[in-house]
A = this chain, B = another copy of it.
Amino acid sequence: ADPAATAAAEERNSQLTKPPGALGRLEDMAIWYAGWRGVARPALERPQVIVFAGNHGVAARGVSAFPAEVTVQMVANFRAGGAAINQLARAAGATLSVHELDLDRPTADFTQGPAMTEAEVVAALSVGWHAVDPSSDLLVVGEMGIGNTTPAAAIACALFGGQPGEWTGRGTGVDDRGLSIKTQVVAEGLAANPDRDPLEVLRCLGGREIAAMAGAIAAAHAARIPVILDGFICTAAAATLAMAAEGALDHCIAGHASAEASHRALLSKLGKQPMLELGLRLGEGSGAALAINVLKAAIACHSGMATFAEAGVSGA
């Protein structure tokens, strides 16, 4: 972030016609955004939502309530405009693009070895990196990939420790038996892939859409495009960057805390406080897309309000 723009935004904020601090976290959001955009009085006009889709070898182990064919079916639904993310992106005035990554070639079952080869993870990171429109002024990345809360749990456990069961939740809605299988699969994956280097964790325990999200978040950092993080899977992708390089997520805020309980724990590890908490657990970037209009409102107040001097209002 640009320290001069941050300081100028803080100064402006202190002069706006409201009691100091009365817009709460909206004030922090606007100042953070101003810093990343390098202007004291920014506008947010070109938000971009990108959904990455991938399939997972571990889906064959019965870790999801839905069959793996739903990934490609939902991609068609995204293209036809029928999914939640289509409505949410439109409501936020955001563009939506969808990238499917080798859907007919799932990653390898990570209980048997690495999910991806080096070439595969690099290709996926690259898809994400190049998917970011450099002229956008906000990025949301979402995902679709039946079974992908399992790699997300494995990544979180590999990066932050604890027991597999602490990071494993019901995802789209597995029953007790499914949850037990899922926890076992995470444990087997961690045992089969012992390297804890963050980018090796991404390769061995992640998935193509997860790597693509990481690539896009990294590209946004380079282009000073602020990011709103979505749910557990997006945050797990982001966490690999955070553990690989300090400050790698300084351009990110957490859009929401999902109903997947381990998401909150993961956000806490990353020092991120969620903007919203409405019990979403859908993925697709839905929670982050919902948060776009809150950030827009914060910026509209910051950049549009009159100062005490301009309005002739007495101070405290």
Contacts and interface: CB of A to CB of B under 8 A. Distances in A.
A80 interface: yes
Contact of A87 (B22, B277, B286, B301): B301
Contacts of A20: 173
A227 to B, nearest CB: 19
A301 to B, nearest CB: 5
A316 B76 CA distance: 18
Given A73-B311, A278-B275, A19 B65 contact: yes
3 closest residue pairs by CB, A with B = A82-B306, A24-B279, A293-B293
Nearest to A170: B19
A254 interface: no
A97 interface: no
A247 to B, nearest CB: 25
A69 interface: yes
A294 B293 contact: yes
7 contacts: A22-B172, A65-B316, A77-B311, A82-B310, A87-B304, A275-B278, A293-B293
Contact of A301 (B73, B81, B88): B88
B19 A90 contact: no
B314 A66 contact: yes
Nearest to A83: B17
A91 B282 CA distance: 26
Interface in A94-153: none
Given A20-B173, A22-B173, 14 more contacts: A17-B82, A21-B281, A23-B286, A77-B313, A82-B306, A87-B304, A88-B297, A90-B304, A91-B300, A92-B297, A276-B276, A290-B294, A290-B297, A293-B294
Contact of A91 (B172, B297, B306, B315): B297
A149 to B, nearest CB: 11
Nearest to A64: B316
A281 B73 contact: no
A70 B313 contact: yes
